[in-house]
């Protein structure tokens, strides 16, 4: 056992830390458009330094980082409070899925503009009627001359209004069993047949959109991984780059807990035993999250098989983040409910944490069935 | 960054698991617990294998290994719920090893390592230690308080057996009645290791009762289905896994820090023991719920685990006390003085 970084890992971290110290672009400007342009600029700078697709193989313009290095990358970005990249979904899902399932032509065509943020990607998986039960989706693609005609509705699509490409899963065979009749497409968003409407969430902002798709055209060459293989391609997309996420999430809640401790002091409740016990519980859960994430990574690197602890970080992160934002709001009493306070936003936004990217209930089903071997209900 | 045990540590784990599974089959544990006694040959065998002195320096007849190895043994002892005076003896050994004078170490550690003159240790409050494991069979008793402690020959203590809910271990109330010798330094590093060892034992108890629950939930049918197919039950089992793996990770971290990064040990040990005390209860109580009525019967073994977990949770600092340490060590400052 050695829970310190190896010399190579330390060198990777130090190099990144030094680079961040010199290149951190500062606070993100307010306003959706200005914020987006800022993140595009930031991603270009990352890309020039080889820090855009850290997990991507070097031959595709990435850094070929190990799982541990990916986790270090996430941790350092969180520590430095670096802005998000403009093309987040392209980097964490789009690129890896093209690398895993794409043809040579697709790799040539799509990968570089993802890294440089020239082309932004979004994800068209969820539908109004298909959330956790994704394979029940109804958006249909019908064969047409040289391509496909797509009609349907997608929801919870981040960055849809600025995206060039949508990773779209649609039903291409109505008669096949539900997991078998799906195909994974790259849909051009720049066509009138795709209408984007902002979806306002409980925080009041519109971080996501709805897509209304009516007879949209997708060329044959934009099928990814073969007709009828959409489910397995989508699953690998969802698995990609989860590796660094646990460590990143742990680093970000640790920062938030530091802010919560400062808040407790400012508000004069740092010696309140209930507040102390509550913060300590969150600190312990956050540490367990960090350790489970790192332990999971080292298990995969050693054996190629994720250990049981690897299934936990997402679940733990959502609980800790919800708990700490709730406590921050509670500590502030009536002031905590002011509409424009920073904690109010985080407190409301955190409600989605146990839904987005796999609900806590679905994650528990996965743990019960795949890790513990309990029987399926279905 | 590497959580893996070394080959030697893996061998210790395997040997411990196999041996304890053979020696402490459920009917053996039950028989000893119902009689409220130990089998001398059991502990003698473990001591013979070098377990009792695993962390004690070679100059005192120990193995000269560390807290990770001790945690490996403790987890397996918890998993098997072995009724042996192992923990108490180790606790006394840890205090003498890390806070005893050279003379105290020379005098007592040999007997603790060989198992021939066992030790026991406890925390005092108002001049007595309310719950000391195996004090009635110890040759030396170490009583600690905040910042210090005293070493007593057993004959210098009044030892009053206490029956707790945990029948797999013997306990006593200890009051000094004669003279003792003060420790030579603050026992805090030893108390952190003791807390870590208990967290490891609780990890083993969680692992075992989670396995019992999963196995039962697969077999037991109601409404024509295995109960584990119902999410009310399967999500409970998923939560057991979350708590068990979290406590395992935190405990390994504390055990590793004890020797590799001592400045981290106080926080890591407090987190491990707080988390383990809670998880030990949550997982065993949840296991009982999964088992339903049969889990509430004396004839089922589950209650022995549940009771040991509850007592372990209280020994050497409860979850609440260790969370308070976490708060203090994490920048919230010292707690307000209690109103008098």
| This model's pTM is above 0.90 | yes
DSSP line for A168-182: EEEES-SSS-TTTSE
Best to test chain B binding among A1, A68, A266, A267 (most B CBs inside 10 Å): A1
Is B324–A276 a contact, with Cβ atoms under 8 angstroms apart?
yes
Q: Average of pLDDT values for B131-147? A: 97
Instruction: Please give the average per-residue pLDDT across B306-315, as a whole number.
Output: 98
How would you class B125 by CB atoms within 10 Å of its CB: exposed for 0-12, middle for 13-18, buried for 19 or more? exposed
Closest Cα partner for B180 from B125, B146, B141?
Answer: B141
Q: In whole angstroms, give the CA distance from residue A261 to residue A247.
A: 21
Does B340 lie at the interface with A, CB-CB under 8 angstroms?
no
Looking at residue B339, its pLDDT comes to 55
How far apart CA B307 and CA B294 sit, in angstroms, is: 16
Sheet of B140-145: strands edge to edge? B119-123, B140-145, B148-153, B181-182
Extract the tokens encoding B46: 């473990």
CB contact (8 A) between residue A288 and residue B247: yes
Helix (H) or strand (E) holding A212: strand A208-219
3-class DSSP state of A149: strand
Under a CB-based contact definition with an 8 Å cutoff, are residues B273 and B322 in contact? yes
Per annotation, catalytic residue among A210, A241, A285, A309 = A241
What residues contact residue A168 under an 8 Å CB cut-off, 6+ apart? A124, A139, A150, A154, A184, A185, A186, A187, A218
Residues of A in contact with B248 (CB under 8 A): 309
- Pairing, β A194-199 against β B181-182: unpaired
| Chain A residues touching B275 at Cβ < 8 A | 284, 288
CA distance A317 to chain B (A): 12
- Chain A closest CA to B324's CA: distance in Å? 6
Judge residue B339's burial from the number of C-beta atoms within 10 Å of its C-beta, 0-12 exposed, 13-18 middle, 19 or more buried: exposed
Rounded Cα distance, A269 and A330, in Å? 11
Q: Average of pLDDT values for B72-79?
A: 98
For β-strands A165-171 and A121-124, DSSP reports them as parallel
CA A104 distance to own-chain centroid: 26
Question: Residues 268 to 327 of B: which have CB under 8 A from any A CB?
Answer: 271, 274-275, 320, 323-324, 326-327
Q: Chain B within 8 Å of A324 (Cβ-Cβ)?
A: no
Residues in chain B: 340
d(CA A189, CA A191) in angstroms, rounded, equals 6
Q: Please give, rounded to a whole number of angstroms, the shortest distance from the CA of A270 to a CA of chain B.
A: 6
SS3 B161: strand
* CB contact (8 A) between residue A276 and residue B332: yes
pLDDT band, residue B337 (cuts 50/70/90): low
Output phi, psi for B7, to 5 deg. Answer: -60, -40
Confidence of residue B340 (pLDDT cuts 50, 70, 90): very low
Do β-strands A208-219 and B157-162 pair in parallel, antiparallel, or remain unpaired? unpaired
What pLDDT, in 10s, does the model give residues B267-310? Answer: 999 999 999 999 999 999 999 999 999 999 999 999 999 999 99
Q: Which domains are assigned to chain B?
A: 188-332 (1.20.140.10)
- Among the partner-chain residues B225, B252, B335, the one whose CB lies closest to the CB of A1 is B252
CB B273 within 8 A of CB B265: no
Per-residue pLDDT tens over the stretch A229-268: 999 999 877 765 565 688 889 999 999 999 999 999 999 9
Burial B251-268 (b: 16+ CB within 10 A, else e): bbbbbbbbebeeeebbbb
Strand partners, B125: B128
| Per-residue 3-state assignment (H helix, E strand, C coil) for chain A | CECCCCHHHHHHHHHHHHHHHHHCCCCCCCCHHHHHHHHHHHHHHHHHCCCCCCCCCHHHCCCCCCHHHHHHHHHHHHHCCCCCCCCHHHHHHHHHHHHHHCCHHHHHHHHHHHHCCCCCEEEECCECCECCCHHHCCCEEEEECCEEEEEEEEEEEECHHHCCEEEEEEECCCCCCCCCCEEEEEEECCCCCEEEEEECCCCCCCCEEEEEEEEEEEEHHHEECCCCCHHHHHHHHHHCCCHHHHHHHHHHHHHHHHHHHHHHHHCCCCCCHHHHHHHHHHHHHHHHHHHHHHHHHHHHHHHCCCCHHHHCHHHHHHHHHHHHHHHHHHHCHHHHHCCCCHHHHHHHHHHHHHCCCCCHHHHHHHHHHHHCCCCCCC
**B-chain residues near A270 (CB < 8 A):** 332-333
The DSSP annotation for A340-368 comes to: T-HHHHHHHHGGGGGTTTS-HHHHHHHII
Write out chain A residues lying below 8 Å of B249, CB-based. Answer: 288, 291-292, 295, 309
Residue burial A148-174, b: 16+ Cβ < 10 Å; e: rest = bbbbbbbbbbbbbbbbbbbbbbbbbee
Residue A27 falls in the annotated catalytic set: no
For residues A157 and A25, give the distance between their C-alpha atoms in angstroms, rounded to a whole number.
27
Are A215 and A150 in contact by the 8 Å Cβ rule? The answer is yes
User: Which residues of chain A lie closer than 8 angstroms to B231, CB-CB?
Assistant: 361, 364-365, 368, 377
Q: Using CB atoms, which residue from A6, A276, A285 is nearest to B327?
A: A276
Q: Based on the number of CB atoms within 10 Å of its own CB, is B282 exposed (0-12), middle (13-18) or buried (19 or more)?
A: middle
A5 to chain B: nearest residue by CA?
Answer: B1
Angle between the N-to-C axes of helices B265-291 and A273-303, in degrees from 0 to 180, rounded to the nearest 10: 90
d(CA B235, CA B238): 5
Give dist(CA A47, CA A62) in Å, integer. 9
Residue in A247, A237, A255, A307 with CA at minimum distance from that of residue A67: A247
- What CA–CA distance (Å, rounded) separates B190 from B185? 10
- Give the model's pLDDT for residue A359: 93
Which chain A positions have a beta carbon within 8 Å of B207's beta carbon? none
- CA A267, distance to chain mean position in Å, is 34
Q: Quote the pLDDT of residue A131.
A: 92
Per residue of chain A (378 residues), what is the pLDDT tens digit? 899 999 999 999 999 999 999 999 999 998 888 999 999 999 999 999 999 999 999 999 999 999 899 999 999 999 999 999 999 999 999 999 999 999 999 999 999 999 999 999 999 999 999 999 999 999 999 999 999 999 999 999 999 999 999 999 999 999 999 999 999 999 999 999 999 999 999 999 888 999 999 999 999 999 999 999 999 999 877 765 565 688 889 999 999 999 999 999 999 999 999 999 999 999 999 999 999 999 988 888 888 777 777 778 999 999 999 999 999 999 999 899 898 888 999 999 999 999 998 899 999 999 999 999 999 877
The closest alpha carbon to A166, from A120, A235, A214, A206, belongs to A120
Choose from B12, B279, B319, B332 for mutation: most chain A CBs within 10 A. B332
What does pLDDT average to over chain B?
Answer: 97
pLDDT digits (tens, 9 = 90+) for B101-129: 999 999 999 999 999 999 999 999 989 99
Q: Report the pLDDT value the prediction gives residue A235, as an integer from 0 to 100.
A: 85
Of the partner residues B228, B252, B332, the one whose CB lies closest to the CB of residue A270: B332
Res B180 pLDDT > 60: yes
- A361 contacts B231? CB cut-off 8 A: yes
pLDDT of residue B338: 57
Q: Least CA distance to A361: which residue of chain B?
A: B235
Q: Is the pLDDT of residue B59 over 60?
A: yes
Domains and CATH numbers, chain A: 7-86 (no CATH), 121-229 (2.40.110.10), 242-371 (1.20.140.10)
Is the distance from CB of A114 to CB of A88 less than 8 angstroms? no
Residue B2: its pLDDT value, please? 87
């Amino acid at each position: 056992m050695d829970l310190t970084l190896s010399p190579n890992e330390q060198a990777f971290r130090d190099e990144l830390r030094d680079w961040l110290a010199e290149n951190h672009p500062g606070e993100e400007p307010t306003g959706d458009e200005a914020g987006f342009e800022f993140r595009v600029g930031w991603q270009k700078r990352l890309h020039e330094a080889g820090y855009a697709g850290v997990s991507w193989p070097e031959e595709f313009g990435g850094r070929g980082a190990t799982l541990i290095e990916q986790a270090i990358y996430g941790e350092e970005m969180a520590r430095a409070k670096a802005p998000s990249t403009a093309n987040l979904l392209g980097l964490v899902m789009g690129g890896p899925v093209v690398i895993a399932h794409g043809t040579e032509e697709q790799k040539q065509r799509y990968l570089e503009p993802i890294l440089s943020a020239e082309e932004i990607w979004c994800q068209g998986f969820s539908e109004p009627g298909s959330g956790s039960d994704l394979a029940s989706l109804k958006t249909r693609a019908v064969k047409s001359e040289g391509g496909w005609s797509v009609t349907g509705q997608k929801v919870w699509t981040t960055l849809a209004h600025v995206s060039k490409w949508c990773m779209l899963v649609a039903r291409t065979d109505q008669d096949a069993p539900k997991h078998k009749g799906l195909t994974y497409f790259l849909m051009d968003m720049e066509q009138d047949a795709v209408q984007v409407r902002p979806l306002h969430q409980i925080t009041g902002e519109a971080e996501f959109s709805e897509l209304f798709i009516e007879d949209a055209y997708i060329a044959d060459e934009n099928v990814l991984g073969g007709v009828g293989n959409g489910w397995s391609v989508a699953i690998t997309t969802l698995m990609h780059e989860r590796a660094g996420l646990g460590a990143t999430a742990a680093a970000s809640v640790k920062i938030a807990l530091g802010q919560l401790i400062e808040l407790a002091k400012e508000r004069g409740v740092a010696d309140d035993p209930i507040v102390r016990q509550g913060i300590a519980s969150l600190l312990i859960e956050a540490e367990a999250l960090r350790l489970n994430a790192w332990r999971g990574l080292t298990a995969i690197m050693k054996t190629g098989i994720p250990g049981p602890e690897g299934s936990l970080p997402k679940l733990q992160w959502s609980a800790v983040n919800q708990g700490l934002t709730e406590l921050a709001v509670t500590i502030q009493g009536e002031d905590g409910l002011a509409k424009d306070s920073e904690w109010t936003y985080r407190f409301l936004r955190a409600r989605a944490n146990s839904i987005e990217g796999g609900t806590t209930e679905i994650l528990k089903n996965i743990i019960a069935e795949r890790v513990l071997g309990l029987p399926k209900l279905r | 960054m590497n959580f893996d045990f070394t080959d030697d540590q893996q061998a210790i784990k395997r040997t411990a698991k196999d041996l304890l599974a053979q020696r402490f089959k459920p009917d053996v544990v039950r028989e000893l617990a119902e009689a409220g006694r130990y089998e001398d040959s059991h502990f003698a065998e473990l001591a013979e294998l070098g377990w009792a002195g695993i962390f004690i320096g070679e100059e005192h007849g120990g193995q000269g290994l560390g807290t990770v190895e001790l945690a490996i043994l403790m987890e397996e002892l918890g998993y098997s719920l072995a009724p042996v005076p192992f923990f108490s003896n180790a606790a006394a050994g840890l205090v003498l090893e890390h806070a005893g004078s050279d003379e105290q170490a020379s005098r007592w550690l040999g007997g603790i390592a060989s198992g021939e003159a066992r030790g026991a240790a406890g925390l005092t409050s108002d001049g007595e230690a309310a719950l000391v494991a195996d004090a009635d069979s110890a040759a030396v008793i170490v009583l600690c308080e905040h910042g210090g402690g005293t070493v007593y020959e057993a004959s210098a203590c009044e030892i009053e057996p206490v029956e707790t809910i945990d029948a797999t271990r013997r306990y006593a109330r200890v009051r000094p009645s004669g003279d003792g010798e003060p420790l030579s330094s603050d026992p805090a590093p030893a108390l952190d290791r003791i807390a870590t060892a208990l967290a490891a034992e609780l990890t083993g108890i969680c692992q075992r009762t989670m396995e019992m629950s999963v196995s039962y939930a697969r077999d037991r049918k109601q409404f024509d289905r295995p109960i584990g197919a119902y999410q009310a039950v399967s999500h409970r089992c998923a939560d057991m896994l979350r708590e068990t793996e979290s406590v395992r990770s935190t405990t390994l971290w504390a055990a590793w820090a004890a020797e590799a990064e001592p400045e981290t040990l106080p926080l890591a040990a407090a987190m491990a023991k707080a988390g383990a005390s809670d998880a030990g209860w949550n997982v065993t109580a949840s296991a009982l719920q999964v088992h339903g009525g049969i889990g509430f019967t004396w004839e089922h073994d589950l209650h022995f685990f549940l009771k040991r977990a509850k007592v372990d949770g209280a020994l050497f600092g409860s979850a609440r006390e260790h969370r308070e340490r976490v708060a203090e060590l994490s920048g919230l400052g010292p707690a307000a003085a209690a109103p008098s």
